[in-house]
């Protein structure tokens, strides 16, 4: 029996005894006046008055005790489980509560392995140095946003927290009341915890980080198996070395770096306008509602002005494509075509399509701001793992208050729509899935795949794969990306994206946002436009086994920065045996059947 359990029993017993004593005392003396030898005196004088006042004090104290006990019961049983749960409290508890850290440090935690469970390529392990057992992170900064860190000063983060709280095999099948009333007669022993084997690939994770870090790119890479949902890579840069966490000087430098924000996991916890990569969702929505691919939409000089709006939507650098089909518009990434196509699909059906892909849909733009993270998304029974890896909600607005101009912007990946790189990887994965399904993300090796939703029909998914194949064969990704994958004997599909957003200007000397006073004397943060580079896709074309999203902040055109990174990683995946050129299964079997930053809402540079 552990101390918290004993303390809880003592607390409950004491409260019960106190309440019974007070109620008994109140009942016994409620009808007996206090004795008085002073003769006939007023009722509100002396012992009688004191007795009445004490009665009120007793009742007030009893109410306070009951309230305190009620809060104790709520936080102990309802807010954090096991009877019910307050999601916000449980998330904070799972990610930040350090009250049990010293107990956890008394035992060695399990090792964290990649998908191959090779002891030479562990993601987190122990090493012996100068008489001490130290926690070691072989990939260092390359995986710190995912593997996390541990220490008494900062607590546990990410996977390190999940591995500590893995249920032992025998307890995993017990109910909560069995765990509460279980007793142990032996003294606690120092022993190693359970290991955690992930679906990540050590070498591919390292390569993804190096691709970003080599030229100082700020961004993220996510790679998954579209048929199973297995996550192969989650990389974010700038990053930090987990060994620096327990050094106060370095920790202060890391945590105060507002320019680079090395603690931010850009793959899961940062919003970006997706630009033209979202035209994949718009195309799928149109195909599913049977809008003809040959329906004439005209891309003309001067742009296309949505009904009710005086603002035209134009193509980058004034490109004019004339009257074109869906295939040509997708290959050439025509903004005017997809703006018209999204309005033709109409806002309700565009919102339904976004929801099927996994986005949160809101009626009002204000409601979509600061909506938190997607809880319960991961395919796991480890609740803490699901909490620490919960990505921010990607959002789409389709209420009746938005204009056709707003809908047109969202249809080309600008305006109110905002997504994480993690979500965009699963948009690509839905197209790459043979049945058009969005799989639940899976990171624990050996678990069976699970379907989250069906984003589109199998027929539509096949057609979208053909469109994405055309982009690589003769479209905006036919250059460096196309030539690189061809030389490696691979086929692939993809979609480039280039999106504008407004970001704060950071003073290079102070590291703080630059401020100024407007005409009314109010202090504001100076902002500037930044052009982000996107590329999403999959490989090979036949039975895709890897889907991906690459995003580089300030990278410019997606075809020039993000696409070459993706190409190099696909070549690396083939070298590692994770990708077969003929499209055969290279990993696990297919599943069984079954306040964000402001964006420039007028920007249309999305090619």
Distance of alpha carbon 454 from alpha carbon 460, whole angstroms: 11
Reported as a single tens digit per residue, the pLDDT across 345-386 is: 999 999 999 999 999 999 988 888 888 888 889 999 888 888
Contacts of 99 (CB under 8 A, 6+ apart): none
Q: Contact, 324 vs 332, CB < 8 A?
A: yes
Tallying the residues shown for the chain, one arrives at 607
Long-range CB contacts (within 8 A, 24+) of 163-168? 163/109, 163/110, 163/112, 163/124, 163/193, 163/194, 163/195, 163/196, 164/104, 164/109, 164/193, 165/94, 165/382, 165/384, 166/110, 166/193, 166/194, 166/196, 166/382, 167/382, 168/194
If you search the block for the tokens 């099948």, which residue do you land on? 173
Token pair recorded at residue 380 = 């796991």
Q: How confident is the model at residue 229 (pLDDT cuts 50, 70, 90)?
A: very high
pLDDT at 94: 56
How many Cβ atoms sit within 10 Å of the Cβ of residue 78? 14
Fold observed for domain 203-575:
Beta-lactamase (3.40.710)
Mean pLDDT of the 538-566 span: 92
Instruction: Examine the pLDDT at 187 and tell me if it is beyond 50.
Output: no
Chain-wide mean pLDDT for the chain?
82
Tell me which H or E stretch contains 58.
helix 47-73
Residues 247-306: pLDDT tens digits? 888 888 888 888 899 999 999 999 999 999 999 999 999 999 999 888 889 888 888 999
* Cα separation, 315 vs 605, whole angstroms: 7
Residue in 520, 523, 547, 528 with CA at minimum distance from that of residue 536: 547
Per the CB < 8 A criterion, the answer to whether 36 and 47 are in contact is yes
Q: Which helix (H) or strand (E) holds 232?
A: strand 231-237
The better pLDDT of the pair 533, 68 is held by 533
Do residues 121 and 207 touch, judged by C-beta distance below 8 A?
A: no
DSSP β-ladder status, 219-224 and 527-539: unpaired
Determine how many CB atoms are found less than 10 A away from the CB of residue 585.
13
The residues spanned by each domain of the chain are 3-32+42-85, 203-575
Q: 120-154, pLDDT tens digit by residue?
A: 889 998 887 777 778 889 999 999 999 988 876 77
Using CA atoms, how far residue 546 sits from 8, 275, 538, in Å, is 51, 22, 5
């Amino acid at each position: 029996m552990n101390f918290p359990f004993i303390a809880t029993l003592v607390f409950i017993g004491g409260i019960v005894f106190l309440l019974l004593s007070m109620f008994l005392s109140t009942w016994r003396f409620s009808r007996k006046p206090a004795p008085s030898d002073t003769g006939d005196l007023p009722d509100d004088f002396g012992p009688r008055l004191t007795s009445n006042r004490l009665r009120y004090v007793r009742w007030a104290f009893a109410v306070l005790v009951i309230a305190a006990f009620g809060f104790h019961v709520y936080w102990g049983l309802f807010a954090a489980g096991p009877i019910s749960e307050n999601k916000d409290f449980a998330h904070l508890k799972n990610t930040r509560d350090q009250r049990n850290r010293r107990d956890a440090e008394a035992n060695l935690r399990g090792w964290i392995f990649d998908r191959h469970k090779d002891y030479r390529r562990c993601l987190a392990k122990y090493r012996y140095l100068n008489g001490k057992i130290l926690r070691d992170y072989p990939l260092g900064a390359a995986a710190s946003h995912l593997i996390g860190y541990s220490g008494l000063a900062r607590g546990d983060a990410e996977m390190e927290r999940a591995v500590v709280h893995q249920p032992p095999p025998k307890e995993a099948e017990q109910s909560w009341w069995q765990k509460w009333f279980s007793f142990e007669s032996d003294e606690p022993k120092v022993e190693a915890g359970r290991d955690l084997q992930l679906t990540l690939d050590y070498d591919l994770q390292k390569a993804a980080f190096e691709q970003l870090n080599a030229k100082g790119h700020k961004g993220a890479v996510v790679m998954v198996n579209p048929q199973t949902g297995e996550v192969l890579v989650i990389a974010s840069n700038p990053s930090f070395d987990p060994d620096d966490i327990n050094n106060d000087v370095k920790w202060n430098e890391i945590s105060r770096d507002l320019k680079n924000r090395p603690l931010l996991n850009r793959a899961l916890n940062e919003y970006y306008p997706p630009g033209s990569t979202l035209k994949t969702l718009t195309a799928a929505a149109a195909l599913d509602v049977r809008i003809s691919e040959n329906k004439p939409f005209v891309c003309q000089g001067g742009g296309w002005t949505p009904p009710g709006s005086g603002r035209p939507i134009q193509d980058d650098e004034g490109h004019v494509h004339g009257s074109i089909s869906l295939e040509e518009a997708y290959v050439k990434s025509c903004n005017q075509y997809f703006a018209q196509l999204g309005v033709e699909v109409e806002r309700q059906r565009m919102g339904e399509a976004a929801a099927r892909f996994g986005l949160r849909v809101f009626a009002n733009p204000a409601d979509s701001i600061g909506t938190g993270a997607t809880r319960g998304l991961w395919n796991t029974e480890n609740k803490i793992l699901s909490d620490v890896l919960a990505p921010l909600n990607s959002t789409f607005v389709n209420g009746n208050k938005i204009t056709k101009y707003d809908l047109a912007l969202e249809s080309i990946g600008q305006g109110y729509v905002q997504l994480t790189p993690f979500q965009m990887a699963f948009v690509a994965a839905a197209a790459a899935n043979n049945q058009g399904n969005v799989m639940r993300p899976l990171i624990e090796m050996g678990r069976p795949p699970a379907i989250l939703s069906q984003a589109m029909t199998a027929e539509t998914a096949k057609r979208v794969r053909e469109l994405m194949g055309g982009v690589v064969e003769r479209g905006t990704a036919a250059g460096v990306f196309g030539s690189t994958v061809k030389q490696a004997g691979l086929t692939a599909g993809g979609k480039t994206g280039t999106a504008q957003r407004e970001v704060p200007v950071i003073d290079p000397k102070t590291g703080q946002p630059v401020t100024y006073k407007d005409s009314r004397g109010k202090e504001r943060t100076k902002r500037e436009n930044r052009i982000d580079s996107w590329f999403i896709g999959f490989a090979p074309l036949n039975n895709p086994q890897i889907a991906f999203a690459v995003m580089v902040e300030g990278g410019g055109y997606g075809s020039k920065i993000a696409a070459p990174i993706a190409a190099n990683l696909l070549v690396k995946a083939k070298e590692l045996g994770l990708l077969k050129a003929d499209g055969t299964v290279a990993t696990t079997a297919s599943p069984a059947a079954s306040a964000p930053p402001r964006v420039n809402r007028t920007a249309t540079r999305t090619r």
